[in-house]
Structure 1
Amino acid sequence: MKAPLTSPVLTGTPTAPTAAAGDASLKLANTSFVQAAIAAVPGRLIGVQVFSVPGTSTYTPTPGTASVIVESVGGGGGSGGVPATGAGQNALAGCGGNGAYAKSSSRPVLPA
């Protein structure tokens, strides 16, 4: 039994030849082709780590790390205390403090 040429439904583990690097045609791209294309692109993000609790984590560079980008975000502060108001009264308070944002880029110190 063969699948129809239009809209075939493939079963099992179908295979395909691996296209040449840089092939931008409409050929089928198998996983080997895709993995090679991703590995050939410098500067991709790998080993992304998120630390949400201050002081509880230490960054360890992934082998082959060329540079590190660190982004820090701090939440804003609350507004000043405002006493409760009664009927016919209004209250006004200053806004809360702005949050903070910082971004830096560095090259890790590699062991000698």
Structure 2
Amino acid sequence: MASFMKYPRRNRLRTESRTPTMRHMLHVGISGGESRFGGVNGFSLIEISVISRSFLRSQIRHMIRTIVEHAYGRLQWERLIWFLNNPNPENFHNSGMVAAPPQGLFLEDV
């Protein structure tokens, strides 16, 4: 998951101290959904669920941005696979993408 972690500039300057980035996703699912807040119509809702024992800082926001960029055709499938096969914190940032905004993301259970 290193490609999806927050990687501030100050950390880029200190490459000798890398955060362990191995995370085991127990579940990642994408499906059509319904509003959990009742009768809100007029928009499409996509539910993305991620279950893991732990996450990296900003990991989910980066993963969501990557999924959205692919859905809009701005990120090729091969590039997405490359992110997964080449885990490095610089990959996401060097691609020019920014983290997805937090609005619409909900922590459901701890």
Q: Do Structure 1 and Structure 2 share a fold, with TM-score over 0.5?
A: no
TM-score (ref. length: structure 1): 0.25
Larger radius of gyration: 1
TM-score (ref. length: structure 2): 0.25
Q: Which has the higher helix share?
A: 2
Higher relative contact order (CA 8 A, sep 6+): 2
